[in-house]
């Protein structure tokens, strides 16, 4: 090695080294954020609030390592709106989320409005990777899925609650629900698709949280760990039930077991942070989304009045603690009222991330460190729109109107149980409280959607609520012709069974490129509105086998894979126009899906080939190709080819392969332009595509071919789990309107 190159190499090592150091410093400046949210847990159902019959040693670790909030509030007394407040850092009534959303998977409005930004999205701009685990309840339409709202990963369910045992998950996904509460019985989702989970749900969510920490530690991350426990239905495994033989009441015993399962999960998360040495670089919040519905799930709000859904303290005053070892004091009790809205503001500021919208919370860290004194909030507010109930707390006084036409004032410092109604006078700050509430209320929006309590009314207004097709498959977009064009041919693949034989025929056996698959009609089927070309690992005898043949199509005794290729040859062809294909490709190793056209006259390549899409491995890298080919003097192919690294697509959209995409060819006498999701990938100038004899293969009609090849350019499929599926939602051809 010459001195020059050695020095260059050393410089490279030094640069790489300094980059790593830079990353570490960066990671220390931006702490990881973990929000552990329980569902319907009572104020007094954690050890740090004095619980006697349910030990919660791990949840208590958070309070012991950090700060317990003795006046910690959420922004609403039931799940959905409270969560909308937490995840946006804004009072949910500011954006019309004043009701618990219905599970209505076809309704874009049942969920968090797109005007709002979730914490995951804000943090992503500061380099955070995030996951949402467990209960979502922020919208069941696919535009509202966690990966659409700024999370990088999701593992959980969309509905407002869920069955705890896998054997109860009898529905594949929200496409199969017929009633609001069917949402409790769906399989869990990973990202945008469904999975086959085997564990008790609480254990599964804890496992996923630990796995995320293991995978993401080293760069800043955010975990929204939203356990559905201990929300009804009350279900627990023997492992946890056996810990509570001392509790005789069966309901309370099961509830205790569910809380204990959460506590174990919290322990696993905290242990993992410690094991990886990142505890001091991670801020962990713990809270419940609303007070316990005591009658319903046997929770206990202790001295607080009433529970879930009430604006008395039992509904909105929750167990709440935070740890950030080495940064905020340990074992401290913080008494000023704080809000779940403060989680967002704190996290965003620590992450140096700028939220899109104005926040209602405050960064609590300076208060907890004692750098700022006094109350973080001049007042906290609550509104139940439909009932016209409200509450405001400022200082120690709380004004509330609840299940009554009259206002009440309580002094919470002296009377946290809200037993002594005070006079509505200025000594008790009545007019100030009322005025501050009115000022806040004037900034709010009416609810944008009908909520859980109005499910029947909603069903009447939306008779099609549960009539839907799988959101994982098709979009059922209506064909829309470009200006001056009309739809002249289409296959929407909307009839179950085999592809329409008026349009399509099948390729058979070994066909080209020494690919591994045996093409057969069996592997092409239409189901739920899409064409599925399925690659299978199965051995098929080669009908044309000749032991000593030099032809690879004959000298292979068997095929180890089967797949399908269908084409419109002799059934449909077109010349010029727009060909649009909506498809979802299997991007795993070994797969080589394609959309192409071939000229009807002459042999390949003189007939002309257009590849709207090919996906295959080249030089060890997956690529998406957009090509055209014609012939040279030797009857070999001349290519005009664009090859784009597949990572270019997935780096912007991690779940790119989970989705359908639109491949489009715009073909005129002058050019062919090939697009993917409206991005031009290649333009072929047709003045240059002449065969040596002067024949232009792109001035003749072409037929369409859809296929899933395996092996060859697709790469080695031996490590890939089969089947592999290539799905096509539709094929449409638009042509210029004929002038009459």
To the nearest 10°, report the CA torsion of 146, 148, 150, 154. Answer: 30
Degrees to nearest 5, angle at CA 177 with 171 and 183: 80
* 3-state secondary structure labels for all residues of 695-714: CCHHHCCEEEEEEEEECHHH
- Give residue 616's Cα distance to chain centre: 27
Q: Among all chains, which residue has been given the structure tokens 């592999």?
A: 724
CB-nearer residue toward Ca ion: 290 or 523: 290
Q: For the residues of 343-354, what is the DSSP string, one character each?
A: HHHHHHHHTT--
Per CB under 5 A, which region of 39-47, 204-212, 473-481, 638-646 contacts Ca ion? 39-47
87 contributes a contact to Ca ion by CB under 5 A: no
Tell me whether residue 39 or residue 729 sits nearer to Ca ion (CB atom): 39
Q: Assign residue 136 a region: left if phi > 0, alpha if psi is -120 to 50, beta otherwise?
A: alpha
Q: Which is nearer to Ca ion, 40 or 197 (CB)?
A: 40
620 φ, ψ (degrees, to nearest 5): 75, 10
- In this chain, which stretch among 111-119, 286-294, 332-340, 687-695 interacts with Ca ion, using CB under 5 A? 286-294
Within 10 Å of residue 322's Cβ, how many Cβ atoms? 28
Residue 347 near residue 33, CB atoms below 8 Å: yes
User: Looking at 201-209, 289-297, 537-545, 622-630, which segment touches Ca ion (CB under 5 A)?
Assistant: 289-297
According to the binding rule CB under 5 A, does residue 79 interact with Ca ion? yes
Report the SS3 class of residue 723: coil
470 touches Ca ion (CB under 5 A): no
Residues 6+ apart with CB under 8 A from 375: 336, 337, 395
Size of interface with Ca ion, in residues (CB under 5 A): 5
Residue with Cβ nearer Ca ion (232 or 654): 232
Question: In the chain, count of helices (H) and strands (E)?
Answer: 15, 33
Tokens of 360: 């209602």
Binding segment (CB under 5 A) for Ca ion, from list 74-82, 331-339, 505-513, 653-661: 74-82
The number of residues making up the chain comes to: 740
Q: Which residues contact 226 (CB under 8 A, 6 or more apart)?
A: 35, 37, 39, 83, 132, 133, 134, 135, 136, 156, 289
617 near Ca ion (CB under 5 A): no
On whether the CB atoms of residues 401 and 312 are closer than 8 A, the answer is no
Residue 259 in the binding site for Ca ion (CB under 5 A): no
Cβ neighbors of 391 (< 8 A, separation 6 or more) are: 311, 316, 381, 382, 398, 399, 400, 401, 402
Task: Give the shortest CB-37-to-Ca ion separation in angstroms.
Answer: 9
**Strand ranges inside 240-335, DSSP E:** 282-288, 320-323, 332-334
Q: Is 137 assigned a catalytic role?
A: yes
Using CB under 5 A as the binding rule, whether residue 507 contacts Ca ion is answered as: no
**Spatial distance between the Cα atoms of 180 and 77, rounded to a whole number of angstroms:** 20
Among 40, 153, 360, 492, binds Ca ion (CB under 5 A): 40
By CB under 5 A, tell whether 289 contacts Ca ion. Answer: yes
Least distance (Å) between residue 78 CB and Ca ion:
6
Residue range at the interface with Ca ion (CB under 5 A); choices 23-31, 32-40, 163-171, 725-733:
32-40
- Taking the complex as a whole, how short is the minimal distance between the CB of residue 39 and Ca ion, in angstroms? 4
The number of beta carbons lying within 10 Å of the beta carbon of residue 114 is 14
Q: Is 347 in the site for Ca ion (CB under 5 A)?
A: no
| Cβ proximity to Ca ion, 293 vs 337, nearer residue | 293
**262 near Ca ion (CB under 5 A):** no
Closest distance of CB 161 from Ca ion, Å: 8
For 24, the enclosing helix (H) or strand (E) is helix 3-29
The region of 215-223, 288-296, 354-362, 444-452 touching Ca ion under the rule CB under 5 A is: 288-296
Nearest Cα neighbor of 90 from 447, 345, 428 is 345
Is 79 an active-site residue? yes
Q: Is 45 in the site for Ca ion (CB under 5 A)?
A: no
Closest CA to 704 of 489, 527, 387, 462: 489
Cβ-based nearer residue to Ca ion, 181 or 576: 181
Q: Number of C-alpha atoms within 13 angstroms, CB side, residue 7?
A: 3
* By the rule CB under 5 A, 583 interacts with Ca ion: no
Kindly name the residue from 51, 79, 141, 162 that is annotated as catalytic: 79
Binds Ca ion (CB under 5 A): choice among 39, 360, 580, 666: 39
Candidates 51, 137, 317, 377; catalytic one: 137
Residue 229 or 350 with smaller CB distance to Ca ion = 229
Q: Which is nearer to Ca ion, 259 or 622 (CB)?
A: 259
- Under rule CB under 5 A, residue 60 binds Ca ion: no
**Least distance (Å) between residue 255 CB and Ca ion:** 14
Among the listed residues 290, 346, 363, 394, the single contact to Ca ion using CB under 5 A:
290
Q: Which residue is nearest to Ca ion (CB)?
A: 79
What's the closest the beta carbon of residue 352 comes to Ca ion, in angstroms?
32
Query: Counting contacts by CB under 5 A, is residue 226 touching Ca ion?
Result: no
Least distance to Ca ion from the beta carbon of 626, Å?
50
In angstroms, give the least distance from the CB of 102 to Ca ion: 16
Dig out the tokens for 408 from the structure: 């009440």
Which strands make up the sheet holding 380-384, listed edge to edge? 380-384, 389-394, 397-401, 408-411
Q: Residue 309 and residue 424: Cα distance in Å, rounded?
A: 25
Identify which of residues 160 and 577 has a Cβ nearer to Ca ion in the complex: 160
Q: Is 586 in the site for Ca ion (CB under 5 A)?
A: no
Question: Is 318 near Ca ion (CB under 5 A)?
Answer: no
**Cβ atoms within 10 Å of 139's Cβ, excluding its own:** 28
Is 698 in contact with 567 (CB distance < 8 Å)? no
Unique residue bearing structure tokens 């046997």 = 298
What's the closest the beta carbon of residue 12 comes to Ca ion, in angstroms?
Answer: 54
Only one of the segments 71-79, 233-241, 400-408, 694-702 lies at the binding site for Ca ion (rule: CB under 5 A); that segment is: 71-79
Minimum CB separation of residue 301 from Ca ion in Å reads 13
Catalytic residue positions? 79, 137
Q: Which spans of this chain sit near Ca ion (rule: CB under 5 A)?
A: 39-40, 79, 289-290
């Amino acid at each position: 090695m010459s001195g020059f190159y050695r020095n260059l190499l050393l410089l490279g090592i030094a640069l790489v080294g300094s980059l790593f150091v830079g990353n570490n410093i960066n990671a220390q400046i931006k702490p990881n954020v973990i929000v552990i949210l329980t569902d319907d847990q009572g104020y007094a159902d954690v050890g740090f609030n004095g619980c006697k019959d349910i030990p919660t040693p791990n949840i208590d670790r958070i309070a012991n390592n950090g700060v317990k909030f003795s006046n910690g509030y959420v922004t609403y007394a039931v799940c959905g709106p409270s969560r909308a407040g937490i995840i946006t850092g804004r009072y949910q009534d500011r954006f019309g989320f004043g009701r618990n959303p219905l599970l209505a998977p076809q309704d874009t409005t049942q969920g968090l409005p797109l005007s709002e930004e979730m914490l995951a999205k804000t943090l992503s701009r500061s380099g955070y990777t995030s996951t949402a685990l467990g209960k979502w309840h922020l919208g069941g339409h696919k535009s509202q899925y966690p990966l659409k709202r700024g999370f990088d990963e999701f593992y959980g369910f969309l509905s407002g609650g869920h069955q705890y045992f896998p054997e109860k998950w009898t529905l594949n996904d929200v496409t199969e629900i017929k009633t609001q509460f069917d949402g409790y019985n769906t399989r869990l989702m990973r990202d945008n698709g469904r999975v086959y989970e085997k564990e008790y749900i609480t254990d599964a969510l804890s496992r996923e949280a630990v796995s995320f920490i293991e995978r993401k530690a080293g760069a800043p991350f955010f975990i929204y760990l939203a356990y559905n426990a201990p929300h009804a239905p009350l279900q627990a495994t023997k492992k946890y039930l056996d810990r509570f033989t001392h509790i005789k009441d069966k309901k309370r015993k099961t509830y205790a077991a569910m809380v204990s399962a959460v506590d174990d999960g919290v322990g696993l998360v905290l242990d993992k942070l410690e094991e990886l040495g990142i505890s001091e670089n991670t801020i962990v919040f713990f809270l419940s989304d609303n007070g316990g519905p005591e009658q319903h799930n046997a929770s206990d709000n202790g001295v607080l009045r009433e529970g879930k859904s009430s604006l008395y303290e039992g509904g909105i005053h929750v167990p709440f603690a935070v740890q950030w070892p080495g940064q905020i004091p340990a074992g401290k009790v913080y008494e000023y009222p704080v809000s779940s809205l403060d989680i967002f503001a704190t996290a965003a500021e620590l992450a140096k991330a700028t939220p899109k919208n104005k926040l209602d919370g405050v960064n609590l860290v300076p208060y907890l460190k004692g750098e700022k004194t006094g109350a973080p909030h001049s007042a906290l507010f609550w509104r139940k729109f439909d009932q016209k109930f409200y509450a405001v707390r400022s200082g120690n006084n709380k004004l509330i109107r609840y299940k009554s036409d009259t206002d009440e004032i309580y002094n919470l410092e002296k009377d946290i149980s809200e037993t002594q109604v005070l006079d509505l006078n200025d000594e008790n700050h009545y007019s100030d409280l009322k005025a501050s509430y009115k000022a806040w209320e004037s900034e709010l929006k009416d609810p944008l959607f009908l909520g859980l309590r109005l499910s029947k009314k909603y069903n009447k207004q939306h008779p099609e609520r549960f009539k839907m097709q799988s959101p994982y498959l098709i979009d059922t977009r209506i064909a829309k012709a470009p200006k001056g064009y009309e739809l002249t041919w289409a296959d929407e693949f909307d009839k179950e069974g085999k592809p329409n034989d008026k349009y399509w025929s099948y390729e058979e056996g070994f066909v080209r490129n020494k690919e591994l698959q045996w093409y057969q009609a069996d592997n092409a089927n239409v189901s739920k509105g899409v064409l599925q070309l399925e690659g299978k690992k199965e051995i098929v005898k080669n009908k044309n086998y000749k032991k000593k043949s030099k032809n690879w199509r004959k000298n292979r005794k068997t095929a180890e894979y089967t797949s399908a290729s269908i084409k419109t040859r002799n059934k449909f062809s077109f010349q010029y126009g727009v060909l649009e294909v909506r498809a979802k490709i299997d991007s795993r190793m070994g797969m080589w899906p394609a959309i192409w056209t071939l000229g009807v006259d002459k042999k390949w390549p003189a007939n002309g080939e257009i590849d709207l899409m090919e996906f295959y491995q080249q030089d060890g890298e997956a690529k998406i190709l957009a090509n055209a080919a014609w012939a040279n003097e030797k009857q070999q192919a001349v290519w005009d080819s664009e090859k784009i690294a597949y990572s270019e697509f997935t780096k912007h959209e991690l779940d790119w392969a989970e989705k359908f995409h639109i491949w489009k060819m715009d073909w005129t006498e002058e050019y062919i332009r090939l697009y993917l999701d409206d991005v031009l990938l290649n333009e072929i100038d047709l003045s240059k595509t002449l065969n040596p004899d002067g024949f232009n293969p792109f001035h003749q009609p072409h037929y369409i071919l859809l296929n899933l090849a395996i092996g060859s350019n697709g790469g080695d499929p031996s490590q890939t789990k089969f089947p592999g599926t290539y799905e096509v939602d539709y094929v449409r051809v638009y042509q210029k309107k004929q002038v009459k």
